[in-house]
Structure formats: structure tokens, C-alpha cells
Structure 1
Amino acid sequence: MSDMNSATDAEGDEVNTLEQSTITMVDVLEQEKEMEDEYAAVLGASDEKACTYAKGPIQRQALYSCLTCCPEARTDLAKCAGVCLACSYRCHENHELVELYTKRNFRCDCPTLRLGAVKRCCLNPQLDGPQPPNDANLYNQNFQGLYCQCKRPYPDPERTTEEVMLQCVVCEDWYHLPHMKAPGASEKMLDACSEMICDTCMDKHQFLRDYTGLALQPVQPEKESKAGPDEGQVDAAAEAEAKPAQTEEPASKRPKLSAEDCRRPNPIKKHQGAAFWTNDWRKSLCQCAECLALFKEFAVEFLLDADDSAKTYEERGMKRAEENSSYEQGMRALSSIDRTQQIDAITQYNHMTHKLKDYLKGFALQDKVVTPEDINVFFNRMRDESKPSVGQPHFCR
């Protein structure tokens, strides 16, 4: 009876171990999916193998600023240069790179004189020497590794708390909320907004204030507002219908627009500071002849293109990631094996993880970039370890 109980207990322990291993394996796959999603959001559908220079200005792509090739860029914005994802891997390996996330209508600078007359882009050997600079490219302090009105790096080594930053859809710089003029704005609003235009850009493009009824409205102090704490976000369309149109300026000073064609609203109230926009707000922008002229005059025609948004850029990357998802492949493989095989798989995975961490420590200590070739070397070593050693045959006598 004792042996039977021991066997039953052992079987129960094995079942528990198997169930725990199965959950752990799913957790591993889910963690992998989170990393894939983050990778896709940052890199979009950028090509990691081919330089994008030949394609001209790309609507949006992953970009990097090389401070090793352009050391003067730290103090002189005119000396900055940006390179595409593929060039960051192949031409600027082990260089000091600033990750720029994405910039609008940018052409890779790697094959150009922005990188110097001697530097040659190894992904464009067909070009006859360095090409002229891309005059249409725009550069801001991000290329120097600085952000926000505080002009600090990201991540900031002097900060001890988490940094929450938003990118302005117009100037494409990144800002800390406390460093912008945004009366009544809260982090809850940041989670709800789709895009943001900083206070500086709103001041430069004042005609955009006419659309702030489409933006999220900050919660006003109780003495200034009758709205309860759950009524802070105003339904712009409903308010526009419920209230008569109000103008901030005399009619003689406002643009003469056709009442039949123009959909540009009158401002509901005077807007101050940054604007936090809801989803699809761009679709409500008026495109009559007069308004189109305004967007062109202020060089913000891109706001009329819904595909210009960073959200659309991320969606393209997510779609590409779904087509090659290791998570889906892993879940299918996991469902096709029994629990004993699952235990073997998670054991081998843990062994590989420890080995990989030890392998990567050397690169971290030497401040070296890990290349695809380095990863191939690691997995070749792992395969060699897994091969059974074949010694001399032994015969019993």
C-alpha cells in the first residue's frame, strides 16, 4: 500500500510538473510575442537588408543618427545625418547610433556627402562615389540625441523615474508632458489620444486651433466647470451641434471661405497649449480650396494624409510581423507534442537561455554590436553540443 501511495504521489507530482511546464512554455511564447510586437512597432515594415537610398524619400522608416561618422553633429545640427535600418546594421556596426524611431519623408544619408567624402556605403557599391546631400531632408535636435524643451537625452541617466514622452506629429520632436504648455492635461489623456501637436507648433499654426473641438478636452477645476470627473472628455461633435458657432476674431479678419464647401469649424473656445487628438481626427480636416491653401502655406499638407501617421506605420509593421509570427508557429508546435516532449523542450530552452546570456555578456563588456553572424556562431555551437559524441566501439569479452 505504501509503495502504491508513493507511486500515486509521484504520478501526481509528475502531472503537476507537466502542467507547470506547459504553462511556462506558453509564457515563453507570449513573452516572445510581446518582443515581436515591440520590434514591429518600432521598425514598421523597414527593410533590414537593403539600403533605401535608391527609393528616394520614404514616407516613414526606421532611422538612426550616427555620431561616430558625424562627431561634429553633437554641437552643429547642420552636420547631422540619418541612416536607414539596413545601413545601421551593415555600414555602421559598432558605431554610436541614436535611435530616431521614424521621421517623415526622409532619404537615407549613408551614400551621401553628409557622411564625408571618404565614407562609402557598402550597400550601394554601384554608386560612383558619395552622392550629393539630400537637401529635402529635415533634421532636428533628435539627431544629436537630445529631446524635448529640456534638451535632455533619452533615456536620461539623471532621471530616477519612468519617462513618458509623446512625439509631436508636426515637428516630430519628443516631449515630456510637464515640459509642455498643456493646461489640465493628464497622463490619462495621453493614453486616450491618438496624436499630439506640441504647444510650439500650435502657436505657429494657429488655424489648427479651429479644429480643437476634435481634440480631447482637459478636465477643468470644479470652480470653473460644472462637468463631473467623468465628463472631462468632451464629445466635440455633440457640443458643436448643441451650441451656436462662436468666433474669436471679427469676421473681417477670418479667411473668406465658401459656406457651401468649407468644413472648417469655428473654434468652440479659445485653445491654449498643446492639442491631444482623438482617433481619425485627420479625416475631419477640411480640404476645400481655401483650406488646402492654408495647409500648403504652413507646409503641413501631410496632416491630410491618414497614412502619414505613426499609428499607420506601426500597423504596417504589425501586419508584417503577423505573417511571420514565431508565436503562432510555436503555439502550433506546442499543441502537436505530448507533455513529456514539452518538458524536454522547456528544459532545452532554459539551457539555451543561460548559454545565450553568457555569450552576450562578452559583447556587452566590450560594447560591441551583436550581428546576425554572431548569432549564427552561437547556434552552430549549440548544435555541435547537442550532437552525440561517437567514440571507439567497445566489445564485451
Structure 2
Amino acid sequence: MEARGQGEKRRAEEAVAGGEEAVLSLVDVLEQDEALEDEACAVLGGSDAEKCSYPEGYVKRQALYACNTCTPNKEGPAGICLACTYKCHEGHDLFELYTKRNFRCDCGNGKFKHLECKLFPEKENFNAVNKYNANFFGLYCTCKRPYPDPEDETPDEMIQCVVCEDWFHGRHLGAVPPEHLEYQEMVCQVCMKRCPFLWAYAAQLAVPTVTKITPAESDHEDIKVEDTAVESITVQNGSNGKTEENTIQQYTKHQQVQEEKDKHNGPSTSAETAQKCTNGDISNAVVTEANPGTACKLQENKRHEGHRTDTATFWPSNWRSKLCNCGDCMKMYADLEVVFLVDERDTVQAYENKGKNDEDRERKDPLMAALSSMNRVQQVELISEYNDLKTELKDYLKRFADEGKVVKTEDIQQFFEELQSRKRRRVAGMQYYCS
């Protein structure tokens, strides 16, 4: 839901606000088109637009939609795949859900009273493993408002929680989303309470955040900073306060120390019986039966657990690889239904990369495809014609740029008409000789 191409949009809005006519150059249009195409490839992740995904079972991650026409909020929630939006719900009021994990297409099943799936009608009445939330009715965040919200004029980005997969306004996360350090994923407040073991890792792995000041605290000068890499500190206006730069340096230093610990983490020598990791409540080093000789990472991080707060947490791209996968922790993940956290292929980034890579493989240069089927003489002639066309088109468009004019559809049509006319004159003027 985060807006793309904001620079071009902002320039156009500023031009309109200043009484100017919003004009985009051909380069701007091409760049926007390419950005939109890349975004579509990322969101769709290689989803099939022709075949219903139901036969594939509970797909690891896919683009999903909800139909407000067929299943309004007074009905049970339902999710449909990309192909079904085209074939079965054309012209309907759809909610784009971005992506959901482990979901099976509901189109035409028992949740739909008056619709049968045109692509795969042989569906069971219900998909027992599917999980639903308010997103399926077009409502998001703790405020349960639509997006975009016609009654909310406050500019704010929407961020998806990696656990519950709901979307949240940045201002409703209890902490300001970090900008000074890159983060890849977010876990909301509710999910941090449901998975408290994450606080043990947050002290070493999570990106530092700035805790929002409540109205009652607005008279104070201090701004509370939740530095998840070190103990909580206070940023003050005085000279003795910690600066943001110091926070970043400490965070980086702790990250490096933790990585070195991971590299040199040897076999555990503890003779104590393996402790249960449930809810992160563990106090002694454990040696598991699943991975004998491997210390539980959760216990190690538990020693450095920092202050827990009622805020969301933000995580870098590699944080999942540092979670413990010992037998007890894996059981804990299963009990909490978050086993996907130790699967880096589950990340939205991995999903988006797959979509982009699939699209790149499908994109073929028409010129190269044509050249591969020609002999050398034909190849040289085609390349020569192509270069001539490119040069003429460039010179033609340059005239518009020099004069500050906007290129219109009829201008392009006129160019090709003149090009064909010149070609016909050249052919008509040729003389042919027989030897």
C-alpha cells in the first residue's frame, strides 16, 4: 500500500497548485510505467491470471482479493485468487489484500451463496486452514478504518505486520517507524504480546525506534528512545544526552558483536536437562535432542533481554536466520502457529523477488528474437534499419524537447506515417538491372 513514484506525483501536484499545467516528459512517463510494472510483478509474484490457484492447495504466499459484492461485511469473509478476480468477479467491488500466506482460494465455495467459480467449480465448501481478519472487509489497523480513508486527511504510510499480516498506520504502532536505519519487517504490538519470546531477540536484532510521546507528556522536553540494541536511553536537549548518531553506532556495534558470537558459538557443555522454551521462559542453557551439541539461541539472547514496551518492533532483512531452530523452540513456534518465522522464503521480500525474476525471464527483446532466426546478411540489414529508426525517432523527439512541447499520440502517428512515406519514395525511385 505504500505509494510509489511519489517524486513525479509531488512535482505534478505542486505544478497544479501553482497554477501551472502539469506536464510530464516522455522520460518521466517511461520511468513511471517501468516502476508500475515492477511493482505489479512484485505484488503478483508470478500469480497465474488464467488458472484458479485452488488445485495448488494452501499456497505458501499469493496475491489475494476480497469481493465486497459477493461477501459484504454481513457475510462470512472470503478470499479469491488473481485469476478469479478476472474471470468470476469482473466489475465487482474488490478489496486488494496484497499477499497472504498459506491460503486456498474460496471463490465459489460455501461462502458464496449465488456464485459458482468459472475456473474450478469443484471446490469443497470451506477451507479449514484459511485465516481471515478485518482486511477481508476492507478494514485495517487497530482503528479498523478503510484504506484509503476518505475521512482521514493525515498523510501516513501503511505497514504490514509479518505475523498477523494486518496493515497498520505508522502512527498507530506506538513507535515511530525508523528512517535512519533500514528495516525489512515489522511485528505489531498485539503479535509481540502473543509471541513474547521475540523480545529476547529484539534486544540484539531489532532496529532502534523512537517511542511516541503521549499528549500528557508533551510538556516535557525529553524524548524517550527505545534502543533495542542497548539499554533504554533518553535523548535530551542538553549536551549530556545521547544523539541519534550514538544510537546508530551502538546498534551497529551490538550487531557486529552478535554476529561474531554466532560464528564462534561452540557446543554447549551444560549437563542440565533441556528446558522448555514455551513463551520464551527459559533460564538455563539447553542441549536439544533434535540438534545435540547446539546451544539454544533463545536462552543466549534471553540473558540480554531489554525492556518490554507496548510497541511494535522493526527488524532487518536477516533477522529470521538468527532465530533458534532447536527442537524445543520449533515446538514453541508450532504451538504459537508461527513456524513460518524460521522460513526465509516466507518473507514478502523473497516473494517479490520471485515475481521480478519470473518476469525478467519472460521479458524477451523482440529485436534479439528476430535476429536469432535470420542469416548474417539479414541480421546486418535489420540492425542497420533499427539504428536508422532509433536515430530518426530521437531527432524527432528532441525537437519537442527543445521547444518545450508535449509529445501527443498524433505526433507519434505522424512520425511513422512520414517514415513510411519516405520509405515508399525510396523504393519507387530504385532502378533494377539484370545482368
TM-score by length of 2: 0.65
**Alignment-derived partner of residue 377 in structure 2:** none
In 1, Cα distance between equivalents of 2:345 and 2:366:
30
The answer for the alignment partner of 1:341 in structure 2 is 393
* SS in structure 2 at match of 1:232: helix
1:217 to 184, 208, 211: 208
1:120 matches 2:102: no
- 2:228 is aligned with 1:231: no
* Root mean square deviation of aligned Cα: 3.6
Aligned amino acid, residue 194 of structure 1: Q
**Inter-CA distance 241–111: structure 2 relative to 1 (3 Å threshold):** closer
Aligned-residue offset at 1:158: 1.5
Rounded Cα–Cα distance in structure 2 between residues aligned with 1:280 and 1:113: 41
Unaligned 5+ segments in structure 2 are 1-23, 211-224, 226-233, 262-279, 288-292, 369-382, 401-405, 414-419, 422-435
Identify which of 404, 408, 413 aligns with 1:350.
Answer: 408
Tell me which moved more, 55-64 or 25-34: 25-34
Separation in 1, partners of 2:45, 2:392: 38
Instruction: Rate the CA distance shift 1:134–1:253 in 2: closer, same or farther, 3 A.
Output: closer
Trace 1:1-397 onto structure 2 (pairs within 5 A). 25-71=26-72, 74-75=73-74, 79-116=76-113, 118-124=114-120, 127=122, 131-182=124-175, 185-188=176-179, 192-212=182-202, 213-218=204-209, 220=225, 221-223=234-236, 227-233=242-248, 234-235=251-252, 236-238=254-256, 254=282, 257-258=285-286, 260-261=293-294, 262-264=296-298, 265-266=301-302, 267-272=304-309, 273-325=311-363, 337-342=389-394, 350-351=408-409
Quote how far apart the aligned CAs of 1:334 are.
8.1
Cα deviation, 1:301-324, whole Å, max 9, x if unaligned, reads 000000001111111111122234
Q: Contact (CA 8 Å) 1:194, 1:277: kept in 2 or not?
A: yes
What TM-score comes out, normalization by structure 1 length? 0.70
Higher relative contact order by CA 8 Å / sep ≥ 6: 1 or 2? 1
How far the C-alpha of 1:330 sits from its partner, in A, is 9.7
Name 1:248's counterpart in structure 2. Answer: none
Structure 1 pair 329–28 and aligned structure 2 pair: CA distance change class (3 A): farther
Number of equivalenced pairs: 317
Tell me if structure 1 keeps the 8 A contact 2:178–2:209.
Answer: no
Deviation, 1:227, is 3.4
1:193-249 Cα offsets, whole Å, 9 max, x none, are 100000110011111111102110125232499532213331333465999xxxxxx
- Report sequence identity in percent: 37
**Distance in 2 between residues matched to 1:206 and 1:181, nearest whole Å:** 17
Alignment deviations for residues 113-163 of structure 1 (CA, whole Å, 9 cap, x no partner): 1112x42111125x3xx5321011000000010000011100111122433
Q: Which sections of structure 1, spanning at least 5 residues, go unmatched?
A: 1-22, 244-251, 356-386, 389-397
Matched residue, 2:3: none
- Residues in 2 aligned to 1:241 and 1:174: alpha-carbon distance in whole angstroms: 31
Q: Which amino acid aligns with 2:318?
A: D
Q: Tell me how far apart the structure 2 counterparts of residues 152 and 353 of structure 1 sit (CA, whole Å).
A: 46
The structure carrying a bigger helix percent of its residues is 1
* CA offset digits 1:161-196 (Å, max 9, x no partner): 4330110000000011221223xx34516x721000
The amino acid across from 2:408 in the alignment is: N
Partners of 2:41 and 2:256 lie apart in 1 by: 37
Q: 1:62 to 1:240 in 2, by over 3 A?
A: closer
